[in-house]
């Protein structure tokens, strides 16, 4: 196994371990974060119905207008966190379950979570 394959396998193992305990509902959806090298995105998911309630990404026009550089930095993650919190408030959602998706809770993932908390989401 190549080193990058081992890294992906370890992340998948962590992801599955987290997902066993994290379940979203209509009242308290799951905020799932995906991070690539150049972008970051998140979704509010109702797992009971299997529906995405809202989504935000550095590729969306609203967020792209707020950031100056590429979407793979902390500033972009903060913009995505604020945007998803505004969309959640628009849907009447106050509390969420945070799913870091196997990523470590630092850097861009932490910046997104802190921005969502600062904008009014509770988790």
> How confident is the prediction for the chain on average, in pLDDT?
93
Q: How far apart are CA 81 and CA 61, in angstroms?
A: 15
Task: Please report the pLDDT score of residue 27 as a whole number.
Answer: 87
The arrangement of secondary structure in 3-118, i.e. its CATH architecture, is 2-Layer Sandwich (3.30)
Global pTM reads 0.89
Domain boundaries, the chain: 3-118
The model's pLDDT over 46-58, given as tens digits with 9 standing for 90+, comes to 999 999 999 999 9
Give ∠ CA 88-53-115 in degrees, rounded to 5.
Answer: 35
In 3D space, the residue among 12, 89, 6, 76 whose CA is nearest the CA of residue 44 turns out to be 89
Beta bridge partners of 45: 30, 52
For residues 87 and 3, the model is more confident at 87
The model's pLDDT over 34-79, given as tens digits with 9 standing for 90+, comes to 999 999 999 999 999 999 999 999 999 999 998 887 778 999 999 9
């Amino acid at each position: 196994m190549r080193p990058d394959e081992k890294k992906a396998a370890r992340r998948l193992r962590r992801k599955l371990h987290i997902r066993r305990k994290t379940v979203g509902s209509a009242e308290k959806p799951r905020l799932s974060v995906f991070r690539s090298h150049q972008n970051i995105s998140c979704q509010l998911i109702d797992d009971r119905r299997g529906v995405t309630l809202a989504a935000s990404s550095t590729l969306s026009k609203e967020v792209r207008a707020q950031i100056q550089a590429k979407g793979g930095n902390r500033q972009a993650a903060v913009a995505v966190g604020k945007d998803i919190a505004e969309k959640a408030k628009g849907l009447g959602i106050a509390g969420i379950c945070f799913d870091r998706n196997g990523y470590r809770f630092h850097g861009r993932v932490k910046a997104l979570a802190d921005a969502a908390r600062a904008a009014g989401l509770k988790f």
